[in-house]
């Protein structure tokens, strides 16, 4: 599984283009905006967009999904249905965060824990990781040992839990009980900021380091 990060929106959200080297089939994870920039990068890489994958319903992660889907015919997949209220509130999110208007939409498919999503001949595991939002999911490539974690965890930090239906305890449980068992060697791409590894966060993250739970 190959990937390239394309920062989008004023929030510099880490949209990721991921693809199967053999088939050149691609998916875009969390196209929060700047869809034309994403399309240009897909063209430069010689890829065919097959799917649009969403980790959760916040506008900086989903704001460009409809435009990208309409122009490419790629289906929008994810997040978990518990984030449907966030997708319904996109017009209000647009005003609140100063984004161009994004209309409410429903994905072609919601995802559940244990589902899998194919990208060409590669496969991603779907992990339900509530806390930042109730329907947040993570995409994990076991072959590449890479996880796309949205706003669950960052290098040196964790997702905010001051939004409607956020839950701090759920977030900590998602990290320590769902993500950590994937293995210390896993590299993760967060929704914002630099990539890291689970090993580094278990040693140094002031919110979820192992020493906090000894």
Residue spans of the domains in the chain: they are 2-213
pLDDT in tens, the chain (214 residues): 999 999 999 999 999 999 999 999 999 999 999 999 999 999 999 999 999 999 999 999 999 999 999 999 999 999 999 999 999 999 999 999 999 999 999 999 999 999 999 999 999 999 999 999 999 999 999 999 999 999 999 999 999 999 999 999 999 999 999 999 999 999 999 999 999 999 999 999 999 999 998 7
CATH of segment(s) 2-213: 3.60.15.10
**pLDDT value at position 188?**
98
**pLDDT value at position 111?**
98
Q: Is 18 helix (H, G, I), strand (E, B) or coil?
A: strand
Q: Chain-centre distance of CA 91, in angstroms? A: 21
**pLDDT value at position 214?**
73
**pLDDT value at position 31?**
98
Pick the closest to residue 134 from 172, 164, 101, 97 (CA basis).
164
Q: Is 126 helix (H, G, I), strand (E, B) or coil?
A: strand
Sign of CA dihedral 44, 49, 55, 61: positive
**pLDDT value at position 129?**
98
**pLDDT value at position 134?**
98
**pLDDT value at position 140?**
98
Nearest-angstrom CA–CA distance, 82 and 41:
31
**pLDDT value at position 122?**
96
Rounded to two decimals, the pTM is 0.98
**pLDDT value at position 208?**
98
- Lookup result for tokens 């994810």: 78
């Amino acid at each position: 599984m190959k990937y390239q990060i394309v920062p989008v929106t004023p929030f510099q959200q880490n949209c990721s283009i991921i693809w199967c080297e053999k088939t050149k089939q691609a998916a875009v994870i969390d196209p929060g905006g700047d869809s034309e920039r994403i399309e240009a990068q897909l063209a430069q890489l010689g890829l065919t967009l097959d799917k649009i994958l969403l980790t959760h319903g916040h506008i900086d992660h989903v704001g460009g999904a409809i435009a990208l889907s309409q122009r490419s015919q790629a289906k929008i997949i994810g997040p978990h249905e518990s984030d449907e209220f966030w997708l319904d509130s996109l017009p209000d999110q647009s005003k609140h965060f100063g984004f161009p208007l994004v209309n409410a939409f429903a994905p072609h498919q919601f995802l559940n824990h244990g589902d899998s999503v194919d990208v060409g001949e590669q496969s991603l595991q779907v992990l339900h990781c509530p806390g930042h939002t109730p329907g947040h999911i993570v995409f994990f490539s076991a072959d590449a040992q890479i996880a796309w974690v949205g706003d669950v965890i960052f290098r040196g930090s964790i997702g905010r839990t001051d939004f409607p239906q956020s839950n701090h305890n759920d977030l900590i449980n998602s990290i320590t009980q769902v993500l950590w068992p994937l293995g210390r060697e896993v590299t993760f791409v967060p929704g914002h900021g630099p990539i890291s590894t689970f090993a580094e966060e278990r040693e140094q993250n002031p919110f979820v380091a192992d020493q906090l739970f000894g």
